[in-house]
Structure 1
Amino acid sequence: NFGHPPPPAMHAKRLIALPLSLAGTSHADGNDWQYTIKPGDTLWSIARAHLGSLAHAPALQKLNAIRNPYALKPDTTLRIPLQLMRQHGASATVTDLVGEATLDGQALDAGRRYPLEAGKIIRTGPNSALKLLMEEGSLVSIGPNARFVIKEATHFPSTGASTTWLSIESGSMDNSVVKNPLMQNRHTIQTPSAITAVRGTGFRVNVADSDSSATEVVEGQVEVSGHSGSQAVAAGFGSVTRRGEAPSGSIKLPAAPDLSPLPAVQAFSPAILQWVPAEGMAAYQVNLMRTQPSRRMVDDKLLKAAQWHPALENGQYQLTVRSQLPNGLQGYPAKQDFVVHAHPTPPLVMSPADGSRLAGRQVSFRFSGDTGTRYRVALSRRPDMQPLAASWDISQPDTTRQLEDGGQWYWQVARLDKQGKPGPYSQTYSLQADAGLWRATYQRGMQLSGRPYPLANARYQLTLQLLGRDSQAFVYSNDKPAWQDSERLYSGRYRVSYKVSTPDGYQATELEDILLVD
């Protein structure tokens, strides 16, 4: 009866005495755990703490050739097969969920814990991401359009370690496997073309198609096995495995891209996301997450050029970019937070034009916008608009103001949203007050201007269509956002469109607005 251990003498008669092997630390090895014996340990105390049943004790005693189960030598090791250890099916907690993810068709919820049963399938939808905190503390981050099958998920409660086997068929998976001092966690990722096995490290597996997969190691070391061989891959390196072939040799991972050109505030939509191109890169894997006011993934895609122009709402965002080699290996990620403050767009300016000279101090502000449109005008003595000398709100697109003093002034205008908050400001305009009657500027014909975009070779197109009349639209195109015509416009209401384009494909409709001409 192994529930009540027999006296030492009985064990001494049954078993053959062989010495125990020496080891410095406890670690997992193959399908065995190498347990380091401590002072006071007996075979029975070890069995009670770590075996699934005391009935496994004779097998453990035979495997380790123990003569006296009560006289184990400290600091020697005991081989314990994993199948004999106390264990149960592992579980994982959804710590983060963006978009949609399912477990065997059941929608996953953030904050809930789910059993990882063999054969179950986890999927993520487009623009979705999932983070699973495994029972032993490892973190698995799953990207969009992923599908993987749980092959095995076993937890060993006496050591706090787990053995996990996941078969990923599509998508990407980042893995941060924690190190366990008692027993190493064993984490295996299988793809259609390779098997990646680790014990306590950080790595990423990406399955672009059914014929190849890439493994990228950021910490520790992993073993990548293919059809006809294996490859040890250390931190800072990666390996590509194609179906039916051995893994490639270790390839140095690309450095994180330089996102320093990205401004902290994006005042345009589509946003102008540009970074420093890295030599030898074939593409860039980009992920854009909206973080405030609501959290969601905007997109996750592969780009050929070091730029991206997504149309974005106002809010806070985080951009993640990885460089990709021609063989498909991706490097370290670069992350950059930024704010989009692009709406509502500033109005077109009819007067005063940039550089205007006023005979006195009275200035007439005229902007595009329908009745009820509200604006905020900021005034300063400095071209950088710091500090502001004055700021006031205007409730119609045509108003007159008296400046407090003459001389050189600088001003900007922004349109107010429904909550009374200003959108991005226009370019900075200059004017000179008290210039005198003979030096004053007198506007002739039509003059309109808009804000410039920080884009090379940009082209600005203005379209004016008089409402209520069956007349041809006026279309003006320029390499600067300033348009003029020697002829005055007919009085009336115009539908005005302001568009921006570049030869490399950037397209923006800056505004669709109303222009009142009297």
Structure 2
Amino acid sequence: MAKQADAIWSGSIGRAAFVGAFIVFGGAWQCAMAQPSGADGTDFLYRVQQGDTLISLADRYMDGVEGWRLLQQRNRVANPYRLQPGLLLRIPFDRIPVVPATAHVVFARDAITEGKPLQAGMKLAEDAQIDTGDKGAVTLAFDDGTRVTVPPGSRVALSRVRAFARAGLIDVRVQVKQGETESSVSPKKTGVGRYEISTPALVTGVRGTRFRVQASDSASTSSVLEGEVAAKAGRQSQAIKAGFGVQASGGRLKRATLPAAPRLDAIPELVQTPCFRATWQPVKGAVGYRAAVARDAALTELSAYQSAKTPGANLCGDEDGDYTLVVQSIDALGLTSKSATRPFTVRLHPEAPYTIQPANGKTYRSGEVAFAWAVVSDARSYDMEIAGAQTFASPVVRQHGQDVRVSKPLDTGTWWWRVRSVAADGKTGPWSDALRFRVLDIPPDAVPTAGVDAGNDGKLHAHWSALAPELAASGARTRVQLASEPTFATPIADIVSEGTEAAIAQPPAGVYYIRTGVDLGDAPSVVYAKPQRIDVGAFVGDSRHSPVQSGGGNLLLND
């Protein structure tokens, strides 16, 4: 089917609040089923198809078949029964009956309406107000499949949500008071009745296209990703095609090419850490970038969103699944590029346990060496390996079981060990970092040597997986907390570490919880992993001063 652009603009907006510019997006699609072509001021536009008559169109769209007489007069049609295919007819909106409609919430995260949280499945009526706050997002869908995504930092109002009573086309106006929207209009290419996005300086009327509108205190912008526009500000008028955009400020328009999309550097296909750093090549002329993580490439289900002045962003989350990284560049006018995308998969659960002992780099007496780690809530069992090389090519111990403390006889030498969680369905999580320790043949009656039997130094040694080097290089650190209750309301210890280990004064016997988070330099932004449980008890020594477990099989740490 052929695609034909109709660049149409109206010199009169009809409402004093919307001054400065009026843009109508073109790109109406020729379709055998229907040819609704959007709005132009106070008129609905329809492109005539073979077999159409004024009577049939009046019956389909207007408040009665007698409306054909008005159509004939308004459009100067000689023969109401013989219409030239391709003719663009104007139908007054005040003669098109409409009925109330609703916007369907298809995705919502940390967004509110009238002080109430938005949730997927809700329906919003006309005059609804939406606030996404600093970290929220929402995507709305209308009856014809049109979707509008409202990212973080935005306040919008649904000033009109209706539908043509007889044709089922939408009649929607969205007011952007602050922030941004991205719309995909009439994705099924069946045409649109009226769909407008307005800011205090800009009105965007749309027909079958994709675009972004942004409002700030000083200016408004529209970046055209698909379709074609005609723009007017004062006496200025310009034709704007896809790949270009306009800035409206002080009643004037500035037209410019959209900045190039960033070229994303390699990112891991499988992510097994709560945070990772995404980087991309600098874009000439860009003054900033926006990075988002979404459930879909269309960026309608945002799970993270941030702006950056440099070509990189730290992205964090705690839910397994398939995601798309979406990055846009921003120029000095505030216009945004097409999106660069990269899919990736997150698999964090079941999480690697925090390892307790043997502690990394410590020395232990030969004989029975105790291995201990925290309890992971998502784990049914654990895999533990001990090897003489960091590659674990030929482990000397491979154990699968539910215990979180085991003892193994080891000869003198240098060893590495690691552990991972196994879910009830057999799914395995990532391995913990490999920890290196030494075993020496020290007689039981020998004078203790510094660094030997580190488990008896009165400290709780907790180890966690290292941050990715590029994440640490950006300034990220690990925050570790120990508490006696899972809410962490009053942590016993709260430490920011540049490494992978914390030595905490051992608390009295009891049940404790430990968690780590990625600290990006702002306490509210710390992304914590799920807490893991530690049962602190006591060991008694045997004749070789090796620890012997007492209690009911839970994790017991040396005094």
TM-score, normalising length from structure 2?
0.62
Aligned equivalent of 1:88: 98
Which residue in the other structure is 2:314 paired with?
A: 308
Return the structure number with greater relative CO, CA threshold 8 A, min gap 6. Answer: 2
The counterpart of 1:177, out of the listed 167, 179, 185, is 185
Checking the alignment, whether the CA contact within 8 Å between 1:101 and 1:123 is kept in structure 2 is yes
Q: Secondary structure at the match of 2:431?
A: coil
Cα distance, 1:191 vs structure 2: 0.9
Give the SS at the match of 1:178.
coil
Q: Following the alignment from structure 1 to structure 2, what is the Cα–Cα distance between the partners of residues 154 and 168? A: 18
1:66-100 CA-partner distances (Å, limit 9, x unpaired): 55545x26647473423375431462441413146
Q: Which residue of 2 aligns with 1:53?
A: 64
Residues 290 and 315 of structure 1: is their aligned pair in 2 closer, same or farther, counting only changes over 3 Å?
farther
Instruction: Render the CA deviation track for 1:393-422: whole Å, top value 9, x for unaligned.
Output: 47465x43147x999975313579999998
Q: How big is each residue's C-alpha offset from its partner over 1:301-325, in whole Å with a ceiling of 9 and x where there is no partner?
A: 4334423265x54644745443333
After superposition, the C-alpha distances for 1:355-376 in whole angstroms (9 at most, x for unaligned) are x8997xx551345769xx9975
In 2, are the aligned partners of 1:378 and 1:413 still within 8 Å (CA)? yes
Matched, 1:195 2:203: yes
1:242-287 deviation per Cα after TM superposition (whole angstroms, max 9, x unaligned): 3x1422212223314626335622335xx23332352454333344
Name 1:8's counterpart in structure 2.
none
1:111 aligned partner: 121
SS of the aligned residue for 1:48 comes to helix
**What CA distance in whole angstroms lies between the structure 2 residues aligned with 1:422 and 1:68?**
74
Cα distance in 2, alignment partners of residues 375 and 393 from structure 1:
6
Q: Distance in 1 between matches of 2:192 and 2:318?
A: 46
C-alpha contact 1:167 1:190 (8 A) present in aligned 2: yes
Q: CA deviation at 1:215?
A: 1.7
Q: Which secondary structure state, in structure 2, belongs to the residue aligned with residue 249 of structure 1?
A: strand
In structure 2, distance between residues paired with 1:78 and 1:233: 21
Partner letter of residue 468 of structure 2?
P
Measured in 1, the distance between the counterparts of 2:360 and 2:401 equals 17
Structure index of larger Rg: 1
**Contact 1:460 1:478 (8 Å CA) reproduced:** yes
Aligned to 2:217: 210
Q: 1:367 to 1:132 in 2, by over 3 A?
A: closer
Match of 2:226 among 203, 219, 224: 219
Residue identity (%): 18
- Determine helix, strand or coil for the equivalent of 2:355: coil
AA paired with 1:365?
A
Cα 1:432–1:77 shift into 2, 3 Å: same
Distance 1:52 1:490 in 2: 80
Q: Which of residues 162, 176, 179 is equivalent to 1:168?
A: 176
Specify which of 273, 276, 281 is matched with residue 277 of structure 2: 273
Contact 1:462 1:496 in 2 (8 A): no
Report the Cα distance in structure 2 between the residues aligned to 1:496 and 1:27, rounded to whole angstroms: 61
Q: Write the deviation string for residues 73-131 of structure 1: whole angstroms up to 9, x where unpaired.
A: 66474734233754314624414131466667787664355554xxx243134343332
Secondary structure at the aligned position of 1:47 is classed as helix
CA distance in 1 between counterparts of 2:497 and 2:125 reads 63
Which of 237, 242, 254 pairs up with 1:235? 242
Give the residue type in structure 2 aligned to 1:213: S
DSSP 3-state at the match of 2:347: strand
Is there any run of 5+ residues in structure 1 with no aligned partner, and where? 1-23, 465-475
Is 2:467 aligned against 1:453?
yes
Q: 1:479 to 1:160 in 2, by over 3 A?
A: closer
In structure 2, list runs of 5 or more residues that go unmatched: 1-28, 455-460, 483-494, 537-555
Query: Letter of the aligned partner of 2:50 in structure 1?
Result: K
What is the aligned partner in structure 1 of residue 146 from structure 2? 138
CA separation of 1:52/1:431 partners in 2, compared to 1, >3 Å: closer, same or farther?
same
1:400 counterpart = 2:407: yes
Partner residue in 2 for 1:248 = 254
SS at match of 1:250: strand
Q: How many residues align?
A: 460
Residue 367 to residue 248, structure 1, CA distance change in 2 (3 Å): same
C-alpha distance 239-345 of structure 1, shift in aligned 2 (>3 A): farther
